Amino acid sequence: MLLKDGGREGLARTWYQSVKDVLALEGLANLVRRPGFWAILATILLITVPHYEKALAHPAFLVNLMAYLGIGRHAFERILYLAPVVWAGFLFGHRGAVTVSLIVLALMLPHAVFLSSNHLGAIFESSAVFIMGNILAITFSSLRNEKSRRRQLEVTQWDLQASEKKYRGLFENALDAILLHDLEGNIIDANGSAEELIGYRTEEMKKMNVRSFLSQESLDIAHEVRQKLLANESVEQPYEQRMLRKDGGEVIIQVVTSLVVDKSQPVAFQNIARDITEQKRMQENLRLYSKMAIKVQEEERKRVSQELHEDLIQALVVQARELENCAAAIKSLPEAERLRLEKLREYTGSLIQGLSRLGQSLRPPALDHLGLVPALEWLANDVAGQSGIAINVNVLGKPRRLQEDVETLLFRIAQEALNNVWHHSAAAKAEMTIEFGESAARISVNDNGRGSHLPKALSDLARDGKLGLTGIQERVLSFGGSLNVQSQPGEGTSLSIELPS
């Protein structure tokens, strides 16, 4: 036997499930609304009625055809049952073909078993029709599905070509340079903007490696980005790189790098670069101008402070002494006149103190003669004395003299920060920490004041007329430093800066 009992049972279950699936899939309501259902049913009836009613004769041309082929009437009718089976396969797929073939088999077997003169032959023919009908239906259904798949593949391929053409247009016409290279750095493709940026033609670059354009420092940055992307880690983008042009010049670029994946496997890197050389030069020039402006401003403050101390304050001191001498020498003056001279002398003394404090704030002598730490300690004591805020000063590391412009900037920022604490924070105490590192100096100022909400960018404070922190940020950036400010309502404010020393 070709099929064991288990095989026959499996086939029976498949047929049963096919009938059940067809009915469940389509639903009787949907089936009866389809013209093909009624056409198949009518065909089965047209074949079945003559099959059992001998009185009904076939048309003459069919009788002649059967005689020519040497096929008996009932055998021919059984062959005709192939038509609705194959048709069902076209309309409802292989499940429909199995269902109709079962119906057809059920219609043929009673005649083959009970009415046919050759039972075995009739049963064999019925079985052959059942098997061949399913084979033909499944074959035609597979061919139709294959044709549909091919059509879908053609549509997909057309869409892919259209998408590739669109991407190629965007790639070629992009204003930013786009460079594609494999995992080893060998260049695969580049657009026209990349040619203008680097100076090589695309065909030349396809024979080169990105190492040809990058210094060792830039290669280290590229390697770090590559490793993070391959490890699916976040990369801070865009990032800056320096590239060497064909003519030997250097360009500064802003790069966004992404990983190209094919079938879940990384195959290449795409780099989108923008030339920011002129922008960086303008920023450097602006920073240089800012440093020069700060230097000129400090020199002017120093000059004014010296003039106040050496000229105006000294003159006022002399005047105060003369007033005191006059009051002591002229004893014959009336008491009222003597009191007026005394008040004038006291007023002159107050004026001397005010001008002395002004001169100190313009340029404290301690900063030039003693260094940053004594100047900051004087500043903290002065602000504490005037404001009533308890200010503690901490020194970390080994104190040392820094470059004059760095010391001046750190002092000015600390001065601005303490003034903010005094006038705006409503704090009861504050703490200032100066830290001397090997290659950098840091200052932080913390208070326990009311705090506030800060915008994402400190530069946005300028829109509200709050220029203090914005000015500090600009000065710190001009020296290549960093600024960090944190504040929350009710939790005070923390400001810290770091400058290379």
Q: What is the pLDDT of residues 102-119, one digit of tens each?
A: 888 888 888 777 777 777
Whether residue 350 lies inside any domain: the answer is yes
pLDDT at 32 over 80: no
Residue 499 or 115, more confident: 499
What CATH number corresponds to the domain at position 489?
3.30.565.10
What CATH number corresponds to the domain at position 269?
3.30.450.20
Residue 39 near residue 87, CB atoms below 8 Å: yes
Same domain? 496 vs 406: yes
Tokens 């194959």, located at residue: 86
Lowest mean pLDDT among 15-24, 52-61, 387-396: 15-24
Whether residue 158 lies inside any domain: the answer is no
Same domain? 454 vs 372: yes
Domain count, the chain: 4
Same domain? 346 vs 315: yes
Question: What is the structure's pLDDT at 11?
Answer: 47
**What distance in Å separates the CA atoms of residue 246 and residue 253, rounded to the nearest whole number?**
15
Same domain? 10 vs 59: yes
Lowest mean pLDDT among 63-67, 250-254, 338-342, 343-347: 63-67
Whether residue 166 lies inside any domain: the answer is no
**What distance in Å separates the CA atoms of residue 322 and residue 333, rounded to the nearest whole number?**
16
Whether residue 236 lies inside any domain: the answer is yes
Residue that finishes a domain, picked among 363, 396, 413: 363
Question: What is the structure's pLDDT at 1?
Answer: 37
Same domain? 440 vs 330: no
Residue 347 or 254, more confident: 254
Whether residue 164 lies inside any domain: the answer is no
pTM, 2 dp: 0.47
Whether residue 454 lies inside any domain: the answer is yes
Whether residue 142 lies inside any domain: the answer is yes
- Confidence band (pLDDT; 50, 70, 90) for 292? confident
Domain that holds residue 186: 174-275
Q: Give me the DSSP letters along 294-324.
A: HHHHHHHHHHHHHHIIIIIHHHHHHHHHHHH
Chain-wide mean pLDDT for the chain? 78
Tokens 């995992």, located at residue: 183
CB atoms within 10 A of CB 316: 17
Same domain? 374 vs 342: no
Same domain? 289 vs 271: no
Same domain? 404 vs 497: yes
Same domain? 355 vs 389: no
Residue that finishes a domain, picked among 253, 275, 297: 275
Whether residue 475 lies inside any domain: the answer is yes
Give the 3-state secondary structure of residue 456. coil
Burial of 4 (0-12, 13-18, 19+ CB in 10 A): exposed
Same domain? 358 vs 412: no
pLDDT at 433 over 90: yes
Same domain? 143 vs 259: no
Residue that finishes a domain, picked among 308, 329, 363: 363
Same domain? 215 vs 240: yes
Question: What is the structure's pLDDT at 4?
Answer: 46
pLDDT at 422 over 80: yes
Cα distance between the two ends of the chain: 96
